[in-house]
Amino acid sequence: MATFPVIDLEKLNGEERTATMDQINDACENWGFFELLNHGIPHDFLDTVERLTKEYYKKCMEHRFKELVASKALEGLQAEVTDMDWESTFFLRHLPESNMAEIPDLADEYREVMKEFALKLEKLAEELLDLLCENLWLEKGYLKEAFHGTRGPTFGTKVSNYPPCPTPDKIKGLRAHTDAGGIILLFQDAQVSGLQLLKDGKWVDVPPLRHSIVINLGDQLEVITNGKYKSVEHRVIAQTNGARMSIASFYNPGGDAVIHPAPALVEKEAEEKKQLYPKFVFEDYMKLYAGLKFQAKEPRFEAMKARETTLPSQQLKESIREIKERKSVIQWHWCVFDFIIVNTTTKGIIMKSIII
Ligand SMILES: [Fe+2]
């Protein structure tokens, strides 16, 4: 099997530019994932992000995780747990407006560093979208524009820790799913692995490389490219030793952006056979995704396609209900969406799902 694509972005500036662009294109077509070296974000800055994230987890999240997730997950555990994940997480929204001020116990230094990190990642995301445009023969800025809507893209960071797990065969760090949005930039732990993607029916490790940024493509890029590029299923395996840090930033379309296959990428044959991906408003897709994250993406595309032609007001709810019934799975799960904030109020737990 081919090895996981690791791409040295600096080579875009030299005589290996064409080969590097081909490498990126191959990764987008055949992996949905790649890992970037020399991406322009200074290593000492990444070290600071890592240190402050781990400190924040120890100080503000670890106790809460043990009390609220670990004890619940391990309670009378016999069969595999399929309705929750072994992860501790909080979400920072950057665009269209920041929610940093609402996150409890965030030290000023950590807040400032994460703001700067978001700016660097936003820039990198937009550079990458233009590299994808170049490979797809779309005009520069096409994808950024496609994501824009009336208020620009949505951009947020899910900060996760996967603590050591005594029973990794019984519960996933994060269950298998594809990402709903646009392009995802992940700064992951260099010591503790666990992220896997599904390639040709087999789970493949995404190798932890110090100071790299892992990129993966979300469902929206699959739609815009009419399937030329694919969002790929991935999961996190909990580890018995070591806590894994994972900081995933999601550069997504604006809520009211209308997503559809790029006309230039719709091959005539596909059009004639009506093999077109759907056209929809991004926030409608997200409403559907919120209930179906851990199921296959194809029924989501089908539901949006059906909605495209009928569009009655109840249709979205109906689509969710039908898919759930068809799968005979009605899951209540802790993580209804990518982005969760856990609040402890009095003795209770509030799980807020946030849709961006
Ligand atoms: Fe994901």
Give residue-wise pLDDT tens across range 197-207: 999 999 999 99
348 C-alpha vs ligand 1 centroid, how far in Å? Answer: 28
Under 8 Å CB-to-CB from 38, ≥6 apart: which residues?
Answer: 8, 9, 10, 11
Backbone angles phi, psi at 133, to 5 degrees: -55, -45
Q: How far is CA 15 from CA 104, 257, 354, in A?
A: 49, 38, 44
Whole-angstrom distance, CA of residue 327 vs CA of residue 316: 17
Q: Is residue 340 part of a domain?
A: no
Mean of per-residue pLDDT scores for the chain: 86
Q: How far is CA 207 from CA 88, 169, 230, 237, 249, in A?
A: 22, 21, 20, 13, 18
- The answer to whether the CB of 289 falls within 8 A of the CB of 300 is yes
Whole-angstrom distance, CA of residue 61 vs CA of residue 220: 32
Number of residues that this document lists for the chain:
356
Whole-angstrom distance, CA of residue 209 vs CA of residue 190: 5
Q: Is residue 344 part of a domain?
A: no
Q: Is residue 299 part of a domain?
A: no
Q: Taking residues 33-38, what's their average pLDDT?
A: 98
59 C-alpha vs ligand 1 centroid, how far in Å? Answer: 25
Structure tokens at 270: 């596909």
44 C-alpha vs ligand 1 centroid, how far in Å? Answer: 26
Whole-angstrom distance, CA of residue 248 vs CA of residue 338: 10
309 C-alpha vs ligand 1 centroid, how far in Å? Answer: 30
Q: Taking residues 223-251, what's their average pLDDT?
A: 95
Whole-angstrom distance, CA of residue 270 vs CA of residue 286: 26
Whole-angstrom distance, CA of residue 99 vs CA of residue 83: 28
Task: Please list, residue by residue across 323-335, b when 16 or more beta carbons sit within 10 angstroms of its beta carbon and e when fewer do.
Answer: bbeeeeeebebbb
Give residue-wise pLDDT tens across range 269-327: 777 777 899 999 999 999 999 988 899 999 999 999 998 865 554 555 555 555 555 54
**What does the pLDDT read at residue 324?**
55
Q: Which domain holds residue 103?
A: 6-277
CATH number, domain containing residue 202: 2.60.120.330
**What does the pLDDT read at residue 342?**
34
Bridge partners (DSSP) listed for residue 199: 202
295 C-alpha vs ligand 1 centroid, how far in Å? Answer: 13
- The answer to whether the CB of 255 falls within 8 A of the CB of 283 is yes
Q: Taking residues 174-202, what's their average pLDDT?
A: 95
Whole-angstrom distance, CA of residue 79 vs CA of residue 81: 6
208 C-alpha vs ligand 1 centroid, how far in Å? Answer: 16
Q: Is residue 27 part of a domain?
A: yes
Which residue bears the tokens 């309670």? Answer: 75
Q: Is residue 11 part of a domain?
A: yes
Q: Is residue 118 part of a domain?
A: yes
178 C-alpha vs ligand 1 centroid, how far in Å? Answer: 6
- The answer to whether the CB of 257 falls within 8 A of the CB of 146 is yes
Q: Is residue 297 part of a domain?
A: no
Residue 125 has pLDDT above 50, yes or no: yes
Q: Is residue 289 part of a domain?
A: no
Band of residue 76 on the pLDDT scale cut at 50, 70, 90? low
Can you list the alpha helix ranges (DSSP code H) found in the chain? 17-30, 43-56, 62-65, 71-74, 108-136, 142-146, 219-224, 268-272, 282-292, 298-310, 315-327
16 C-alpha vs ligand 1 centroid, how far in Å? Answer: 31
Number of domains in the chain: 1
**What does the pLDDT read at residue 351?**
33
Residue 71 has pLDDT above 80, yes or no: no
Band of residue 194 on the pLDDT scale cut at 50, 70, 90? very high
Q: Is the dihedral of CA 289, 291, 297, 299 positive or negative?
A: negative
Q: Taking residues 170-199, what's their average pLDDT?
A: 94
Q: Taking residues 121-144, what's their average pLDDT?
A: 98
Residue 335 has pLDDT above 60, yes or no: no
Burial class (CB in 10 A: 0-12, 13-18, 19+), 113: middle
